[in-house]
Chains A and B, each alone.
Chain A
Amino acid sequence: MPKPFTPKVVTANALLEGDVIYMTADGWTRDLAEAEVLTDEADADLRLIEAQSQPGSIVGAYLADVTLQDGVPHPTHFREDFRATGPSNYPHGKQETVKEERF
């Protein structure tokens, strides 16, 4: 049996803001929950190449592992968790934006 493929998302940083972004079916999002989840290895590699062909808007695209909880992607590694949330010493970064949107 081949090893099961860990689901992935394509992630990068936005060129202008430097903010963490994730690839969607038709663009980019700043929210991991909205990212396109890739469950097929060949598909994931193809989507990464597509991302890397957009150097005018993004920097440093790569594939990050996720797990699905109720169909929503969550990071498997703590580094990706920080990228998806923001730093732990101030409520800055994505956690700040989410808070602003909520209230």
Chain B
Amino acid sequence: MYHYTDFDAAFLAERNAQFRAQVERRIDGSLTEDEFKPLRLMNGLYLQLHAYMLRVAIPYGTLNSRQMDQLAMIAEKWDKGYGHFTTRQNIQYNWPELRDVPDMLDALAAVNMHAIQTSGNTIRNVTADHFAGAAADEVADPRPVAELIRQWSTDHPEFQFLPRKFKVAVTGAQADRAVIKAHDIGLRIVERDGAIGYEVIVGGGLGRTPMIGKVLYDFVAEEDLLPTLEAIVSVYNLLGRRDNKYKARIKITVHENGIEDIRARVDARYALIRPQFGGVDQQMLARIKADFAAPRFRVADEAPYRNAYQNDPLFRSWADTNLSAHRAPGYAIVSISLKAHGKTPGDASARQMRLMAALAKRYGHDELRISHEQNVILPHVHKSDLPSVFAALRAEGLGTANIGLISDIIACPGMDYCALATARSIPIAQEIATRFDELKLEHEVGPLKIKISGCINACGHHHVGHIGILGLDRAGVENYQITLGGDGTEDATIGTRAGPGFSADEIIPAVERLVLAYLDLRTEPAETFLQTYRRLGMAPFKAALYPEAESKERADAA
């Protein structure tokens, strides 16, 4: 993984010292809140419903054990003993006090981490496929280029005051596990005639006006990528709307001007700035790539895995749902579920963080990943070690076998924490997971992604959930709208709203009716919820959601 240079360390130390002084000036009254707010936001510090919230970047979701241990230490020393992993591969602390934040940032810097540009109208934390460097279907590891983009975008003088926030995601595989088509810029590493390049997608996004990104270029050579990105963000910086916050994202700029117009402008800008990129970025990329060299995979007997798989039904169930194909023989990618039934999606206690760090160190080549689905990944585990890993995880409440299933729910913090939320998300996720655990149905239901947002900003990605749930405030009461058929993969699709919303009491039974209807409608157990929806459309699911309307229609027809 990437190692900070002296330059990186000095930059971060200086930045943290600046923020420490800014906090002091706020506390002694030299700075007003209006003056301080943009400064704290640039350093990831929000003021939420009950307390401050510090959002720490986990660049492209990659951590080592030392960093995870430090996150645990910070959770215990300055928070309430836990952290919340987010849909942008970040971690949020929900209870810091203002005076402690500079110390927290110094503690992060000690392990090469920061909270810079996790907020504000800047280029945010660059996200990537959480199976990067391990996936069997990968063209190339997306993390080196993600790191290059992180360095280019951090404190980029031209892009500190964009019309709105700007999010970049990178994948190195055909299968899209990074939701690249719902980002301001999505990059996919592709190979053409033996050369590595990038498909560049722009103008995707969720929120109030969900859009699937459009292909700007189908192949950009590796050495042309950074000037291309600079040209895109530069065009957006000038053209993007600043008159209306809700129309300020690049998805609207692309939508209003058309992809051809944007391409022509980017081409013109690119021609102007390309000569400024003299190849230094490529030298840096080469150095970064060396940092991301694959670990030395070992060769060992897989018998312990086979024995456990045959003899231990709990291990078998976990292995069937939580393991993914690794590119090295004898290895597996382990997804650790942070979605124990009834718990808060994405939360890990300090104790759990330390266990995951220890397992990564002992069994996982010292690597951990955070997924946008709010789980933790051990990307490189030899199969012979899996029984030991599973036993240790289970002992700390981390052995839930539900990856990709109905209880593996994405949920934003919602009104339990977020100042922008219009309804709660977490309790809805907890109740759905608990209900389907009681029914003992989730393995029979199979792959099904439920995603819940507590407001229109869609941090919970509800638009791309197979079942999406959006919490709203309807006349002072929490109300939940259902969308169906969304998909966040390479076949990205925005879900369709099913009909009127449900109260907090009605939403769990409504989801249950929907899922039971699917079980009746599918042609065979292998047909997933999404496939069934695509085959049959909305009508039979709508009938299940709104049985009263259905029976009334029948009565009227009779």
A interface with B by C-beta (< 8 Å): 13, 15-20, 55-56, 59-60, 76-79, 82-83, 86-90, 92-94
Known: A78-B478, A87-B50. A18 touches B33 (CB 8 A): no
Q: How far is the CA of A90 from the CA of B342 in the complex (A)?
A: 12
A selection of 18 A-B contacts at a CB cut-off of 8 Å is A16-B99, A17-B51, A17-B98, A18-B47, A18-B96, A20-B49, A55-B32, A59-B33, A77-B476, A78-B478, A79-B415, A79-B473, A83-B49, A87-B426, A88-B427, A92-B94, A93-B51, A94-B50
Q: Which of B49, B80, B430 has the most CB of A within 10 A?
A: B49
Chain A residues in 8 Å Cβ range of B96: 18
Give 10 nearest A-B pairs by CB, closest first.
A87-B416, A18-B51, A18-B52, A56-B29, A93-B50, A89-B344, A89-B426, A16-B98, A59-B33, A55-B32
A78-B477 contact in complex given A18-B47, A90-B80, A92-B80, C-beta closer than 8 Å:
yes
Q: How distant is the Cα of A14 from the Cα of B129 in the complex, in angstroms?
A: 39
In the complex, what residues of B have CB within 8 A of residue A60's CB?
33, 47
B344 near A18 with CB under 8 A, answer no
**B531, chain A: closest CB distance, angstroms:** 33
User: From B477, which residue of chain A is reached at the shortest CB distance?
Assistant: A78
A59 touches B476 (CB 8 A): no
Which of A19, A60, A92, A94 counts the most B-chain CB atoms under 10 A from its CB? A92
CA–CA, A93 to B29, complex, Å?
26
User: Is the Cβ of A88 less than 8 Å from the Cβ of B47?
Assistant: no
Does the CB pair B416–A89 fall under 8 Å?
yes
CA of A15 to CA of B344, assembled, Å: 28
Q: Which residues of A contact B98 (CB under 8 A)?
A: 15-18
**Cα(A94)–Cα(B477), bound, Å:** 22
B residues with a Cβ closer than 8 A to A are: 26-27, 29, 32-33, 47-52, 80, 94-99, 344, 415-417, 424, 426-427, 430, 473, 476-478
Give Cα distance in the complex from A13 to B179, angstroms.
Answer: 36
Checking B29, B97, B426, B476 against A18 with a beta-carbon cut-off of 8 angstroms, the contacting residue is B97
Q: Which of B51, B94, B96, B478 is packed against the most chain A CB atoms within 10 Å?
A: B51
- Beyond the given pairs A82-B416, A90-B80, 12 more chain A to chain B contacts, judged by CB atoms under 8 angstroms and listed by A's residue number, are A16-B97, A17-B51, A18-B96, A20-B49, A55-B32, A76-B476, A78-B415, A79-B473, A86-B50, A87-B94, A87-B426, A93-B51
Whether B47 and A59, one on each chain, are in contact in the complex, defined by CB atoms closer than 8 angstroms, is yes
A43 vs B94: C-alpha distance when bound (angstroms): 35
Residues of B contacting A79 in the complex (Cβ-Cβ under 8 angstroms): 49, 415, 473
Name the residue on A nearest B97 (C-beta). A17
Contacts of B94 in A (CB 8 A): 87, 92
Q: Which chain A residues lie closer than 8 Å to B477 at the CB level?
A: 78
Nearest residue, chain B, Cβ from A93: B50
Give which listed residue, A15, A59, A82, A89, contacts B49 with CB less than 8 A.
A82
Instruction: Tell me which residues across on chain A come within 8 A of B430, comparing CB atoms.
Output: 89
Given A19-B51, A20-B49, A93-B50, are A87 and B29 neighbors across the interface (CB < 8 Å)?
A: no
CB distance from A45 to the nearest CB of B (A): 20
Contact across chains for A15 and B27 when beta carbons are under 8 A apart: yes
A88→B423 CA distance, assembly (Å): 12
For A19, what are the chain B residues with a Cβ–Cβ distance below 8 Å? 50-51
For the complex, give the distance between the alpha carbons of A59 and B16 in Å: 23
| Complex CA distance for A78 and B414, rounded to whole angstroms | 13
Distance between B173 CB and nearest chain A CB, rounded to angstroms: 34
Chain A residues contacting B344 (CB-CB under 8 Å) are 89-90
Contacts of A83 in B (CB 8 A): 49-50
Distance in Å: Cβ of B117 to nearest Cβ of chain A: 22
What distance in Å separates the Cβ of B92 from its nearest Cβ neighbour in chain A? 13
Choice from B27, B49, B476 contacting A16 with Cβ under 8 Å: B27
- B473 smallest CB distance to A (angstroms): 8
B360 CB → nearest A CB, Å: 26
A18 to B417, CA, bound (A): 12
| B48–A18 touching, CB < 8 Å | yes
Smallest CB separation, A37 vs chain B (Å)? 20
Residues of B within 8 A of A93 (CB): 50-51
Task: Judge whether B478 and A87 touch: CB under 8 Å.
Answer: no
Across the two chains, which residue of chain A brings its CB closest to B344? Answer: A89
The answer to whether A78 touches B50, judged by C-beta atoms less than 8 angstroms apart, is: no
Residues in B neighbouring A90, C-beta threshold 8 A: 80, 344
A65's closest neighbor in chain B, by CB? B476
With A17-B51, A19-B51, A20-B50 as known contacts, state yes or no: A88 contacts B416, CB within 8 Å: yes
Complex: A17 Cα to B80 Cα, angstroms = 13
In the complex, which of the residues B26, B29, B50, B94 has the most CB atoms of chain A within 10 Å of its own CB atom?
Answer: B50
Decide: A78 near B97, CB < 8 A? Known: A89-B416, A89-B427, A93-B50: no
